[in-house]
Amino acid sequence: MPRVAYSEEDRERIRTALITVGLDLMAKQGIQHTTVEQIYKRVGISRTFFYSFFPTKEDLVVESLYWQQPKIIEYVQKLMADPALGWREAVRKFLHTCCYGERNGIAVLTIEEQQLIFRRLSAENYRIFRQRQLRLFGEILETFGIKTDERRIGLFTNLSLSMMVVRRALPDTLPLLVPEAADETVEFQIDAIVDALEKLRRASAS
């Protein structure tokens, strides 16, 4: 069979398809349960051609996480602009949506996946990842109407991600926690985060 010559436009289209298909699968079934084979077969290319775009699965994972960041910001903006939602309800809905990302098309790394990605990233790529992550959470806070600084962004990042990660970790990774109380725990944590953000918002307005 003759080898197909792909234009730069074709390659960019295929690369985008790999990212979007990968993100969709990872959001629904988790990163660990999403294989390279599932992704390239759905896009309609070969394994060899896949690796001409992404040297490893982890490279695709990181690119997919970057890809979803503008979509997350758009979602926050949509919630905050919804006249049917008060500020507290909008923030609460956002956190709840992210916490149950697999139901809402948002990929959230588990503890094991975070460790795997961290081991694969070079020092420079880790710096870029951290920078982009903090920029995302800073933009979210600003969309909430909260003045940002390094401390506030770091705290909001840790509180949000720890809530999402712990929920994903029950019961397999954290077997000594009570899985039957997982949803109730999430609701409690969301309320606590919203309470803290509401205080910061008042302080920002004064």
**Residue of 107, 95, 94 whose CA lies nearest to 26:** 107
Residue type, 58: E
pLDDT of residue 3: 52
Q: In the prediction, which pLDDT does 1 show?
A: 39
Q: Would you give the DSSP letter of residue 5?
A: P
Spatial neighbors of 57 by CB under 8 A, at least 6 apart, are 35, 36
pLDDT along the chain (206 residues), means of 10: 70 96 91 92 95 94 95 97 98 96 88 89 93 97 97 97 92 92 96 97 88
With vertex at residue 13, the alpha carbon angle to CA 98 and CA 133, rounded to the nearest 5 degrees, is 30
Query: Do 29 and 102 meet the contact criterion of CB atoms below 8 Å apart?
Result: yes
Please report, for the chain, the start and end positions of each structural domain, with discontinuous segments joined by +: 56-205
- Burial string for 42-56 (b: 16+ CB within 10 Å, else e) reads ebebeeebbeebbee
Please report, for the chain, how many H helices and E strands are present, in that order. Answer: 10, 0
**Chosen CATH of 56-205 out of 1.10.357, 1.10.8, 2.40.160, 1.10.3470:** 1.10.357
pLDDT of residue 30: 84
Q: What's residue 120's pLDDT?
A: 87
Separation between Cα atoms, residue 54 and residue 135, nearest integer Å: 24
- pLDDT in the model for residue 31: 85
